[in-house]
Amino acid sequence: MASRFWTQGGDSDTEEEENSEYEEGSETEQPAGDADGALARSRYLRDQASDSDDSDGQHRVVKSARHKRFDEMVATIDQTKNAMKINDWVSLQESFEKINKQLEKVMRVTESVKVPNLYIKALVMLEDFLAQALSQSMANKDAKKKMSSSNAKALNSMKQKLKKNNRQYEELIAKYREKPEGQDEVAEDADEESGSEVEEDPSKITMFDDESDDKEEEEDDEPAQGAGTWEKKMSRKDKLMDKQFMKDPSKITWDVVAKKLKEIVAARGKKGTGRVEQVEQLTFLTRVAKTPAQKLEILLSVVSAQFDVNPSLLGHMPINVWKKCVGNMLLVLDILEQYPNIVVDDAVEVDEHETEKGADHKGTIRVWGNLVAFLERLDSEFFKSLQCIDPHTREYVERLRDEPLFLVIAQNLQEYLERIGDFKAASKVALHRLELIYYKPQEVYDAMRKLAEQAGTEAGWEDGDADESDESQIVQESRGPPDFVPIPEIVPRRPAFPERSRALVDALVFLIYKYGDERTKARAMLCDIYHHAIFDEFPVARDLLLMSHLQDGIQLMDISSQILFNRVMAQLGLCAFRAGLIQEAHGCLFELYQGGRVKELLAQGMSQNRYHEKTPEQEKAERRRQMPYHMHINLELLEATHLICAMLLEVPNMAATTHDPKRKPISRTFRRLLEVSERQTFVGPPETVRDHVMAATRALRKGDHRRAFDVINSLDIWKLLRNQEKVLEMVKSKIKEEALRTYLVAFSSCYDSLSLSQLTLMFDVSEAHVHSIVSKMMIMDELHASWDQPTKCVVCHTVEQTRLQGLLFRMADKLVILAENNERAFEARTGGGLEGLPPRRREGQDYTGSAASGRWQQNSAGSALQGRQGGGYGGRLGYDGRTGGSAQGTGGGFRRDRSGQESRGGGDGGGYYGSAGRTGVRGSRMEAAAGMVNLSRAVRI
Amino acid sequence: MADYDLTSRIAPHLDRHLVFPLLEFLQERELYADDEILKAKIQLLSQTNMVDYAMDIHKALYHTEDVPQEMVGRRVEVVARLKSLEESAAPLISFLQNAALVQELRTDKQYNIQMLHDRFQIGADQIEALYQYAKFQFECGNYSGAADYLYQYRALCTNSERSLSALWGKLAAEILMQNWDTALEELNRLKEIIDSKSFASPLNQLQNRIWLMHWSLFIFFNHENGRNGIIDLFFQDRYLNAIQTNAHHLLRYVATAVIVNKRRRNMLKELVKVIQQEQQSYKDPITEFLECLYVNYDFDGAQKKLKECEQVILNDPFLGKRVEDSNFTTVPLREEFLENARLFVFETYCRIHRCIDISVLAEKLNLNMSYDEALVWITNLIRNSKLEAKIDAVLGTVTMPIVHQNVHEQIIEAMKNLNMRTYLLAKNIVEPAQAAQATR
């Protein structure tokens, strides 16, 4: 790497000399002649191409293109002449437009600021002819009448256009008229004198623009080569600047630089301002800045100009520009570090002469700017580039390696902000760092840390381009004026990572919780939870989520935070699953799978919706939200987790439903899938994740736990898990348990008694475990049986109902429903409940033996409600759903939690991590449902 | 056996003076080395004004007659400060000691202040001095004096912050004087204020609640009606949430209270839920016992935990309170706890069994008794109609009859309140209509 770089450096060196030689030549011995300028140019070009880079074919192409352009131009001028002869104004107009277009092209290929003489000549010619024609028509009305109407019209428009056009080149034309031949020198001078005007000249600027775009492409194609061209361009542009500044470095005053800066900055954003050009000019200015403050000011302009390079919202900033931008930011920080009296501020209007104060100035110097905004922009550009680059290419990996670069700058900036006491901004920066760290498991984190360290030990760790630009800067400095304000590298150039990512996350999160604003805090909290979840700390993650009341407000937040929330829920589900908490895992995941739009909810790819066509704007917006590939959560794993959880919960539930029709399905999604798969006439070997789980379900329903596990085990997603063995072991034991439960529920009516040892044998579960499971089922009334202790067997009490009795029961149920409906109708009419009636109970709530199951159960009830109401409501859907849920009184436990929460009001909401309580929290999980449901709507909008 | 000692977790939530009884208890139980406890005591006293006591302990600890200079110095300082405070509060105190004059005070605070100011030249300064003096008295260990003064201060004080801290002081003083009835009153008063007052931050309020709960442990485990009180207080939403947030160790006391209290069985379900939620952050044998019994139905585990529970109770300053009964020292709570826990186990066991061997049962119940004794125990239960079972003396088993609810009854049960509901509904509809007709 280094060696290659050095050779490159040498290359550009020679090139440099070449250029400067040429410059001198052009001033002194520019050959006179008609198309001489152009010729000289092409000759120079040929020289350069052959000398500097023989092996490079690209320049040759450019060369021929240049010739072509000139030839074209000459041809057009000939056409014009012909048209003049026959007085054909229509074709004259056409060819005039053509020549203007060609001029742009010519300028682009010649990379010149100066308009070719050929063009000026044509202009003069046209002007003369026009004046002649006009005077003729004035004198002789007939002549005008003779002209066809279209011709006359063309003449008039030509008159105006030419006038407008020529105004730009007034001087050149005047010069040409004075000295029709060999005028180049003068023109050159004029050009230089009006150095600043050059940029203001719109047509020329557009040329720059195009030209620079081409340049960029070139650079992108071949980054190593890019440095060379960059170098060349610098020098050519320097021609302008140096003229002004190089003459006598001592004459450069603060005023000159400030004026220049103002000029350049004023051109920003104007139509046709050359973006790259601007960056270069500003970069040059940084070297001649007189005071550190001024240098800082210019550097800030450079950075913002660099951000302007990419105008489109979708595309990303060119990577090398991004890297240079990072370099500039580091310089900015260096200056700020070295001169602590300089303050960057965007709140106050800064006095113009503030930056005039030198390095020895005692008081504070204010410079306008917003470093945090720059950092945010850098981050978003980095993010965008990762979105755009195809994740399966090497380029993507290369790009990922730039992450430490960003982290360095963020770290330095954060430290700086903390030092000056701007903790609010520091917390924002901390969030950006956190968002690059939070999703990394320890292995990935270690890898990044190693990369950063390795890169740090090598001298040039800032990949190739940055190196070369550094180098070129040195080269330039040796040639051009020396940096007036030398800035040593003070801030560390490589990030410091603690050993464990948890430590880093903790530190960042602590800062953010203390100083951040609401959104920052909420996002940090989500990242924190995510991080805990990937580190298998489910209880901590769960408590944080519940404590922070994030679910309550998530639907009011921006979409990217909602996506983050969904990601957190998904990761939490995976974490719960790994920990063997099936119910919790299902509670976290089922919302994601309810609408079948997981991809959209997690922003991991676009999903097609059959019923809802997206407008192009929506699609673009969605594309902008996509997560970069390396942050994705594996969807297959997620789906498998969700379906396995659903299977484990639903299969015994379905078995029980046959006895007790009041039971509600736990996972409707799963039921639907199962129905679909059962409708198939032939069942082939499983292929997708879904097929596998369905096959396992079929086995499990028969109580065949071995087959069920084998099918699940054959999924190849398991190798994505860190502790694969343990998880599979857990899945196996869960499957056995559920198989046992299903078996007992489904077939206990066929048995009079079952011995414990037989069950143990059948399901390969330890005796104590079987005892515990069966006992639990007995207590919960899922199994009508009891133990016979001396003989160690389960004695079933099956209660046979006669048909009449069964019918009676059903009638009783229906009557209850009828009465309830009546009461509800009455309530709706009168608005009040009936007095003296027992509060209506909600059936099916009280079979919650274990606390957890209760909680999740209530969730599902709540969200189901929401689902039902979902259709009709607008934006406040989630809220409505929730109040609906509480109004219907979902069970005692839930009500308790809600009241706790309400009585406390929003007060507790402010408390995050450890600061305030988990007060009134438990059971607020159902709000998670609200968040997700509503979120999905938001995404769709 | 120090594993389950909660003193270090409880102490931060208590007043210095309140920690003292705990340390005394630990010293008695000899869980820690004597020196350590004495040192802790000195440390504890160093911030209070009970310098004489600290000196005594110092002597006992190092077996010397010398006292460090700083203690002597501090003693002088304390005495001086006491004098000055006494002086500044003297006018008000002399007023308050005159019963006839105190009669003139009314409930209207503004009036009182005005009157004191006009007639006795006692202003805000003196009232403030009274507070300081009371506080100083408390620091010195003169709790009864402090309690009196604080009571009177509250009658005169207009600053609500001050009034709150005066209340805390009064509560502490009453607890330390072991006036449980008064303390309970103060506790309720304090609770009302905490619940109704708006705090600067929710965190503050939470902290206040946690303090209150900790302090209340003294009262509830000593007051005769404390067993109900603790459940009433701790099971309130806000307090339960506070426990779950920042004081998990209090679960032990809640659990014990629920187990011991026969009439509050219905709380058990909620308690088990909470224990399960918090099992990651707190567990001790008592909560684990409940978990084994009601979550896992693991009777062997429950049996083991029950044994450990006994030790935990003996070593807990609140639970292991001793009662001297002539020559015996008993820990009344232990007996109650074990008895009730056994009942829990037995009950659950019977619910899922049809037939149980008595000797196995005796073993499961941790009774350490012979077959005959167990037989007597079970017979007693059956006789007191707590258990529907029959003993099969030949096989040595207890047999539970399987009760099937009659289908007939079930249907009647389902329909029973329908009649009433419909009747009410009809009445509600008809009555307004009739009333409307009547008026017409």
Locate the chain B residue with the closest alpha carbon to A819.
B422
Locate the chain A residue with the closest alpha carbon to B280.
A539
Residue of B290, B345, B421 best to disrupt the A interface, most CBs of A under 10 A: B421
**Closest alpha carbon to B174 in B166, B159, B164, B186:** B186
Output the average pLDDT for chain A. 69
3-state secondary structure of A684: coil
CA distances from A243 to A28, A107, A200, A219 (A): 14, 21, 18, 27
For chain B, give the percent of residues with pLDDT over 90.
Answer: 0
In this model, does residue A931 exceed pLDDT 70?
A: no
pLDDT bracket for residue B2 (50, 70, 90): low
Q: Dig out the tokens for A654 from the structure.
A: 């379905």
Residue of B198, B237, B358 best to disrupt the A interface, most CBs of A under 10 A: B237
**Closest alpha carbon to B302 in B291, B310, B313:** B291
Highest mean pLDDT: which of A140-149, A252-261, B353-362? Answer: B353-362
CB contact under 8 A, B418 and A815: yes
Contacts of B273 in chain A (CB under 8 A): 851, 854, 893
CB contact under 8 A, B281 and A816: no
pLDDT bracket for residue A48 (50, 70, 90): very low
pLDDT bracket for residue A322 (50, 70, 90): confident
pLDDT bracket for residue A237 (50, 70, 90): very low
* pLDDT attached to residue A367: 75
Mean pLDDT of A1-14: 43
Contacts of A904 in chain B (CB under 8 A): 202, 238
CB contact under 8 A, B202 and A788: no
A891: left (phi over 0), alpha (psi -120 to 50) or beta: left
pLDDT bracket for residue B326 (50, 70, 90): low
Answer for the pair A90, A154: CB distance below 8 angstroms, yes or no.
yes
Which residues, at least 6 apart from B58, have a Cβ–Cβ distance to it below 8 Å?
A: B42, B64, B67, B68, B71
Query: ∠B181-B185-B191 over CA atoms, to 5°?
Result: 140
In this model, does residue A223 exceed pLDDT 50?
A: no
pLDDT bracket for residue A162 (50, 70, 90): confident
In this model, does residue A758 exceed pLDDT 80?
A: yes
Extended beta strands in A533-610, E state: none
CB contact under 8 A, B237 and A790: no
**Closest alpha carbon to A790 in B358, B357, B399, B352:** B357
Tokens 């994705």, located at residue = A632
Pairwise pLDDT comparison (A246 vs A358), residue with the higher score:
A358
- The torsion angles phi and psi of B277, rounded to 5 degrees, stand at -65, -35
- Burial pattern B379-397, b for ≥16 Cβ within 10 A else e, equals eebeeeeebebeeeeeebb
Question: How far does A840 lie from chain B, in Å, by closest CA?
Answer: 11
B 313-332 residues with CB < 8 A to A: none
Consecutive H or E run containing B323: strand B323-325
Nearest-angstrom CA–CA distance, A932 and A282: 48
CB contact under 8 A, B351 and A778: yes
The pLDDT tens digits of the residues spanning A833-891 come to 555 444 443 333 333 333 333 333 333 333 333 333 333 322 333 333 333 333 333 33
Locate the chain A residue with the closest alpha carbon to B246.
A917
pLDDT bracket for residue A799 (50, 70, 90): low
In this model, does residue A365 exceed pLDDT 60?
A: yes
Total residues found in chain A within this entry: 941
* pLDDT attached to residue B396: 82
* pLDDT attached to residue A34: 44
What DSSP letter does each residue of A773-787 carry, written as one string? HHHHHHHTTSS-EEE
DSSP β-ladder status, B353-357 and A785-788: parallel
Nearest-angstrom CA–CA distance, A793 and A787: 6
In this model, does residue A173 exceed pLDDT 50?
A: yes
Which residues, at least 6 apart from B137, have a Cβ–Cβ distance to it below 8 Å?
A: B143, B145, B146, B149
3-state secondary structure of A345: strand
* pLDDT attached to residue A56: 43
The pLDDT tens digits of the residues spanning B134-191 come to 888 888 888 888 888 888 887 777 777 788 888 888 888 888 888 888 888 888 888 8
The pLDDT tens digits of the residues spanning A673-699 come to 888 888 888 878 888 888 899 999 988
Pairwise pLDDT comparison (A31 vs A761), residue with the higher score:
A761
In this model, does residue A222 exceed pLDDT 60?
A: no
What DSSP letter does each residue of B341-388 carry, written as one string? HHHHHHHHHHHHEEEEEHHHHHHHTT----HHHHHHHHHHHHHTTS--
* pLDDT attached to residue B186: 87
Highest mean pLDDT: which of A316-325, A562-571, A665-674? Answer: A562-571
Mean pLDDT of B378-395: 79
* pLDDT attached to residue A270: 67
Mean pLDDT of A95-101: 80
ipTM computed for the complex: 0.79
Total residues found in chain B within this entry: 440
Answer for the pair A575, A534: CB distance below 8 angstroms, yes or no.
yes
Using CB atoms, pick whichever of B206, B276, B354 lies closest to residue A852. B276
Using CB atoms, pick whichever of B242, B297, B421 lies closest to residue A776. B297
Locate the chain A residue with the closest alpha carbon to B273.
A851
3-state secondary structure of A755: strand
Find the radius of gyration of the CA atoms of chain B.
29
Nearest-angstrom CA–CA distance, B413 and B409: 6
Using CB atoms, pick whichever of A813, A849, A916 lies closest to residue B202. A916
* pLDDT attached to residue A532: 92
The pLDDT tens digits of the residues spanning A617-631 come to 777 777 788 888 888
* pLDDT attached to residue A59: 45
In this model, does residue A560 exceed pLDDT 80?
A: yes
Answer for the pair A699, A647: CB distance below 8 angstroms, yes or no.
no
pLDDT bracket for residue A183 (50, 70, 90): very low
* pLDDT attached to residue A570: 92
* pLDDT attached to residue B114: 76
Answer for the pair A303, A448: CB distance below 8 angstroms, yes or no.
no
Mean pLDDT of A577-592: 89
The pLDDT tens digits of the residues spanning A450-501 come to 888 776 554 343 443 333 344 444 333 334 444 556 666 666 777 777 788 8
pLDDT bracket for residue B367 (50, 70, 90): low
A315: left (phi over 0), alpha (psi -120 to 50) or beta: beta
- The torsion angles phi and psi of B359, rounded to 5 degrees, stand at -65, -35
CB contact under 8 A, A775 and B352: yes
CB contact under 8 A, A916 and B206: yes
3-state secondary structure of A360: coil
The pLDDT tens digits of the residues spanning A495-535 come to 777 788 888 889 898 999 888 888 888 899 999 999 999 88
Pairwise pLDDT comparison (A184 vs A321), residue with the higher score:
A321
In this model, does residue B365 exceed pLDDT 60?
A: yes
Which residues, at least 6 apart from A203, have a Cβ–Cβ distance to it below 8 Å?
A: A103, A104, A168, A272
* pLDDT attached to residue A732: 92
CB contact under 8 A, B353 and A789: yes
Output the average pLDDT for chain B. 81
Count of Cβ atoms closer than 10 Å to residue A421 Cβ: 9
* pLDDT attached to residue A352: 60
In this model, does residue A114 exceed pLDDT 60?
A: yes
* pLDDT attached to residue A23: 43
In this model, does residue A327 exceed pLDDT 70?
A: yes
CA distances from B56 to A938, B78, B177 (A): 72, 17, 21
In this model, does residue A323 exceed pLDDT 60?
A: yes
In this model, does residue A926 exceed pLDDT 50?
A: no
Answer for the pair A103, A115: CB distance below 8 angstroms, yes or no.
yes
Pairwise pLDDT comparison (B327 vs A342), residue with the higher score:
A342
Mean pLDDT of A315-325: 81
Residue of A786, A843, A847 best to disrupt the B interface, most CBs of B under 10 A: A786
* pLDDT attached to residue A137: 65
Residue of B203, B275, B295 best to disrupt the A interface, most CBs of A under 10 A: B203
* pLDDT attached to residue A642: 92
CA distances from A50 to A53, A111, A641 (A): 6, 18, 64
**Closest alpha carbon to A773 in A739, A798, A728, A810:** A739
* pLDDT attached to residue A856: 35
Q: Dig out the tokens for B299 from the structure.
A: 């009777």
Determine what percent of chain A falls in helix, strand and coil, rounding each to the nearest 5. Answer: 70, 0, 25
Question: How far does B3 lie from chain A, in Å, by closest CA?
Answer: 23
The pLDDT tens digits of the residues spanning A534-555 come to 888 888 898 888 888 888 888 8
Question: How far does A642 lie from chain B, in Å, by closest CA?
Answer: 23
* pLDDT attached to residue A480: 42
* pLDDT attached to residue A295: 78
Count of Cβ atoms closer than 10 Å to residue A92 Cβ: 26
**Closest alpha carbon to A928 in A533, A541, A527, A551:** A551
For chain A, give the percent of residues with pLDDT over 90.
Answer: 5
Consecutive H or E run containing B391: strand B390-392
Count of Cβ atoms closer than 10 Å to residue A292 Cβ: 26
B 193-252 residues with CB < 8 A to A: 201-203, 206, 237-238, 241-242, 244-246
For chain A, give the percent of residues with pLDDT over 70.
Answer: 62
For chain B, give the percent of residues with pLDDT over 70.
Answer: 94
